[in-house]
């Protein structure tokens, strides 16, 4: 049954399992079902059979419901749904077909569940209050203004899988690694800080964590193989492979909350990477619950595939639109999540996203919750034509506090990500890209790429997708890719200098700066541009490398501190200063100026005269020459009050002091 052919009622009541003071209510929405059976289990182990089965009763508006007088906290469950055969165009391989009666019976977990057992095979009734770690009710998100925001992207496993990271063995690759507050490289007393201690020293304000809802590509029972997790199974349930006991549905919830609380104690807010545009399989729990409704179809009746993952979820349809909004509010309220990054946001409709913004704003402190995403898709989808998708054409309809990743900034600074040998401004073609980078530095104000406000622009040069910044620079700054020094052990001063300039541009540009974890210590994946299912070792943060490349880390620390101290970098006006070809120089606000010189020659830039206060003078407050000793001739300096000398391959920030 297709969406267009069916009359789908909208159900406004609560869905999933609800634990009450004196009982439990199970409710699902399955308008085309002719029978629904609830199966109860004492464990999440798929080998254990049901302890009881109960027929649900048909309720209003396509819902089915069962009310139990027992409080069934900790009980696992799934459903058997029977449909007319004509209602199921995509019959799962494990379905029971009754040709005589013309029906198909399908098993599924609860897509509205808040807890589940191992691998999401069974949902679980949960007492959420019992999952709160110590101190949870007093947990508060740190207060961080937009002008001080610096986002650092990581993966739960990448953060702590390195055996040299100093994390307890049982915490490596788990939520609990974030609760280890004083780790050092190889557990050396007073040694190089790793984990949370490292983040506090670096100074980032937000950690964007790659998917940590329940996903399907990792076997929770074994913890492998490695995967990024962009394959949702249960949106409102934490991933079990990140917990110390994937069989107990409450443990993953408690440990996920503990991770978030630990980051908050460190003064860091948490952004959740969410993937509402597709799911792990075509016959996912939503499709099994209401065949033909939740997934978009193409004109031939097959699954629309704008995600490149086999199925596009229909955000524009009322019941899934409502689910997305409810899910976001749930994570913000129950888990104290501080922001959401939307994977392939160009497949989601602007109306749903704007409604989510309004609902999040209603929460205590909700207006500080960040929302931003990728304003593109992998291919064309087939959304209902009356809805506008949040791609580059539709993003102008987004609320002013929903942002997007600016690939125009990324590609102009380091080169097009689709052409791995194509350089950008910092790595070989400064003259060609200088004008575009000036626009990027100004938050694209006055161009087609601008937002309603500058905070909508996510400025970045690396994320988990595509080559790391270091790998891109290595491939574009050597004539032969075979000579790419991914390990940064040879003569790489020029590449370090380019990395430093890229960081300088991102961390002083208008908008919100973002970086891939490890960018600040030349993170490499040895030329792999899509490591989603490669080894844990290729993906993990190499804490020994971080210790070795500490000079670059210090440069990032300096830039972050400077940005935090000067709000004008976020949204202050930029006035271009005269500079040689390929060099970018600009005054920022009244008291700041920057100069990016990726060329091989030293230059001089005339700074504005300070006529307002003769006691204040221009002084260098950040200078990248220390990052790559020997790559620049001397240091940046100000002479005669306004003449700024900038060595080759250098980024400089000056301020009136």
Cα distance between residue 497 and residue 552, in whole Å: 9
**Within a 10 A sphere around the Cβ of 26, how many other Cβ atoms?**
25
- Please enumerate in sequence order all residues whose Cβ is within 8 A of that of 405, keeping only pairs 6 or more positions apart, or say none: 372, 373, 374, 375, 458, 460, 463, 514
Is 432 annotated as catalytic? Answer: no
Find tokens 């019959």 and name the residue: 91
The vertex-642 CA angle with 641 and 646, nearest 5°, equals 115
Beta strands in 258-405 (DSSP E): 269-274, 339-342, 370-373, 403-405
Per-residue model confidence (pLDDT) at position 629? 56
- DSSP letters, 383-438, are --TTS-BSSTTTGGGS-TT-EEE-HHHHHHHH--TTSTT---TTTT-HHHHHHHHH
Span 126-131, average pLDDT: 98
* DSSP code string of 185-207: GGG-TT--B-HHHHHHHHT--EE
Q: Are 642 and 578 in contact (CB under 8 A)?
A: no
Nearest to 544 by CA among 197, 155, 165: 165
CB of 77 closer than 8 Å to CB of 28? no
Q: How is residue 442 written in tokens?
A: 């100004």
- The label of the residue with tokens 């620390």 reads 557
Three-state DSSP class for 336?
Answer: coil
The whole-angstrom separation of Cα 652 and Cα 505 is 10
**pLDDT of amino acid 634:** 73
Alpha carbon dihedral 30, 34, 36, 37, in 10-degree steps, equals -170
pLDDT at 383 over 90: yes
Specify the pLDDT at position 613. 87
Confidence at 627, pLDDT banded by 50, 70, 90: confident
Q: Are 223 and 233 in contact (CB under 8 A)?
A: no
Mean pLDDT across 622-627: 92
Is-cis flag, bond preceding 225, omega within 30? yes
pLDDT value at residue 328: 99
Q: Where are the domains of the chain?
A: 16-108, 145-569, 574-656
The burial of 443, by beta-carbon neighbours within 10 Å (0-12 exposed, 13-18 middle, 19 or more buried), is given as buried
Are 154 and 517 within 8 A, CB to CB? yes
| Confidence at residue 6, expressed as pLDDT on a 0 to 100 scale | 59
* Rounded distance between C-alpha atoms, residue 567 and residue 565, angstroms: 7
Candidates 2.60.40.10, 3.40.50.300, 4.10.1240.10, 3.90.1170.50; CATH matching 16-108: 2.60.40.10
Distance CA 643, CA 579 (A): 12
User: What's the confidence (pLDDT) of residue 352?
Assistant: 99
Stretch 422-430: mean pLDDT, rounded?
98
The answer to whether residue 643 is catalytic is no
| Per-residue confidence (pLDDT) for residue 305, from 0 to 100 | 98
| CATH fit for domain 574-656, picks 3.40.367.20, 2.60.40.1180, 1.10.1200.30, 3.40.50.620 | 2.60.40.1180
Residues 449-498 pLDDT 10s: 899 999 999 999 999 999 999 999 999 999 998 999 999 999 999 999 99
pLDDT in tens, 159-173: 999 999 999 999 999
* pLDDT value for 626: 81
Among residues 236, 374, 391, 407, which one is catalytic? 374
Helix orientation angle between 407-414 and 469-476, rounded to the nearest 10 degrees: 40
Range 573-589 average pLDDT: 98
Average pLDDT, the chain: 97
Q: What is the mean pLDDT of residues 395-417?
A: 98
Give the mean model confidence (pLDDT) for residues 29-49: 97
Compute the average pLDDT of residues 60-76: 98
Which contiguous run of DSSP H or E holds residue 656?
strand 650-656
Is the predicted pLDDT of residue 1 greater than 60, yes or no? no
Quote the percentage of the chain above a pLDDT of 70: 98
Is residue 632 over pLDDT 70? no
Q: pLDDT > 90: what percent of the chain?
A: 96
pLDDT at 296 over 80: yes
Residue among 285, 343, 466, 520 flagged as catalytic: 343
Instruction: Give the closest residue to 657 by CA, choosing from 598, 608, 615, 601.
Output: 615
Please say whether the dihedral angle defined by the alpha carbons of residues 559, 564, 569 and 571, taken in this order, is positive or negative: positive
State whether the Cα torsion 477-482-485-487 is positive or negative.
positive
From CA 139, how far away is CA 131, in angstroms rounded?
14
pLDDT at 631 over 80: no
Q: What is the value of pTM for the model shown?
A: 0.97
Collect all residues with Cβ–Cβ distance below 8 Å to 615 and sequence separation of at least 6: none
> If DSSP codes are grouped into helix, strand and coil, which group holds residue 629?
coil
**What residues pair up with 8 in beta bridges, in sequence order?**
none
Domain boundaries 145-569, corresponding CATH code: 3.20.20.80
CA proximity to 373, closest of 465, 476, 249, 297: 465
Query: Taking 70 as the threshold, does the pLDDT of residue 192 lie above it?
Result: yes
Total residues found in the chain within this entry:
657
Question: What is the phi/psi pair of residue 516, to 5°?
Answer: -75, 135
Average pLDDT over residues 75-81: 99
Over range 523-545, report the average pLDDT: 99
- Name the residue among 603, 651, 643, 601 with its Cα closest to residue 626: 651
Beta bridge partners of 515: 152
Q: Please tell me if the domain spanning 145-569 has the same topology as the one spanning 574-656.
A: no
Strand partners, 313: 295
User: According to the model, what pLDDT value does residue 7 have?
Assistant: 78
Tell me whether residue 202 is exposed, middle or buried, using C-beta atoms within 10 angstroms of its C-beta: 0 to 12, 13 to 18, 19 or more.
buried
Question: Residue range 212-219: average pLDDT?
Answer: 98
């Amino acid at each position: 049954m297709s969406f267009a052919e069916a009359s789908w009622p909208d159900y406004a009541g609560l869905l999933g399992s609800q634990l009450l003071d004196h009982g439990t209510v199970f409710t699902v929405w399955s308008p085309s079902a002719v029978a629904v059976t609830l199966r109860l289990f004492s464990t999440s182990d798929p080998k254990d059979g049901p302890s009881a089965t109960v027929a649900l009763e048909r309720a209003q508006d396509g819902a089915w419901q069962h009310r139990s007088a027992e409080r069934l906290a900790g009980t696992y469950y799934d459903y058997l749904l029977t449909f007319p055969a004509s209602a199921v165009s995509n019959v799962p391989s494990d379905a029971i077909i009754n040709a005589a009666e013309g029906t198909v019976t399908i098993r599924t977990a609860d897509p509205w569940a808040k807890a589940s057992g191992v691998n999401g095979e069974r949902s679980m009734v949960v007492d959420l209050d019992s999952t709160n770690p110590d101190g949870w009710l007093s947990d508060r998100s740190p207060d961080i203004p937009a002008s001080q925001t610096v986002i650092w992207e990581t993966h739960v496993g990448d953060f702590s899988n390195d055996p040299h990271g100093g994390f307890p063995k049982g915490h490596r690759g788990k939520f609990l690694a974030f609760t280890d507050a004083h780790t050092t490289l190889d557990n050396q007393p007073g040694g190089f800080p790793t984990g949370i201690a490292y983040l506090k020293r670096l100074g980032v304000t937000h950690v964007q964590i790659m998917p940590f809802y329940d996903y399907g590509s990792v076997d929770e029972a074994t913890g492998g193989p490695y995967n990024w997790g962009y394959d949702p199974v249960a949106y409102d349930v934490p991933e079990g492979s990140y917990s110390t006991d994937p069989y107990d549905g409450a443990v993953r919830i408690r440990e996920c909350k503990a991770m978030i609380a630990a980051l908050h104690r460190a003064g860091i807010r948490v952004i959740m990477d969410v993937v509402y545009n597709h799911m792990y399989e075509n016959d996912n729990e939503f499709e099994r619950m209401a065949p033909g409704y939740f997934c978009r179809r193409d004109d031939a009746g097959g699954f629309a595939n704008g995600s490149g993952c086999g199925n596009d979820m229909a955000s524009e349809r009322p019941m899934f639109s409502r689910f997305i909004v409810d899910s976001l509010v749930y994570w913000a309220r129950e888990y104290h999540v501080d922001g959401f990054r939307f994977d392939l946001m160009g497949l989601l409709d602007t109306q749903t996203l704007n409604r989510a913004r309004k609902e999040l704003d209603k929460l205590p402190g909700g207006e500080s919750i960040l929302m931003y995403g990728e304003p593109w898709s992998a291919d064309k989808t087939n959304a209902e034509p009356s809805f506008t998708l949040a791609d580059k054409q539709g993003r102008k309809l987004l609320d002013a506090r929903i942002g997007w990743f600016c690939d125009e900034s990324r590609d102009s600074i380091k080169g097009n990500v689709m052409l791995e040998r194509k350089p950008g401004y910092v790595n070989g073609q400064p003259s060609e890209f200088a004008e575009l980078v000036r626009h990027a530095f100004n938050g694209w104000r006055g161009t087609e790429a601008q937002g309603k406000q500058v905070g909508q622009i996510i400025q970045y040069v690396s994320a988990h997708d595509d080559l790391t910044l270091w790998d891109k620079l290595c491939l574009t700054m050597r004539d032969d890719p075979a000579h790419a020094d991914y390990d940064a052990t040879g003569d790489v001063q020029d590449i370090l200098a380019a990395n430093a300039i890229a960081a300088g541009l991102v961390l002083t540009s208008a908008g919100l700066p973002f970086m891939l974890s490890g960018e600040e210590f030349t993170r490499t994946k040895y030329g792999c541009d899509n490591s989603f299912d490669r080894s844990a070792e290729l993906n993990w943060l190499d804490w020994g490398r971080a210790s070795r490349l500490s000079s670059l880390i210090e440069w990032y620390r300096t830039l972050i501190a400077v940005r935090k101290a000067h709000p004008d970098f976020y949204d202050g006006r930029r006035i271009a200063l005269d500079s040689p070809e390929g060099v970018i120089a600009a005054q920022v606000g009244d008291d700041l100026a920057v100069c990016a010189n990726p060329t091989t020659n030293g230059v001089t830039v005339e700074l504005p005269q300070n006529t307002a206060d003769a006691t204040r003078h221009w002084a260098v407050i950040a200078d990248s020459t220390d990052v790559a000793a020997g790559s620049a001739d001397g240091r940046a300096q100000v002479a005669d009050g306004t003449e700024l000398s900038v060595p080759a391959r250098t980024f400089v920030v000056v301020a009136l002091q």
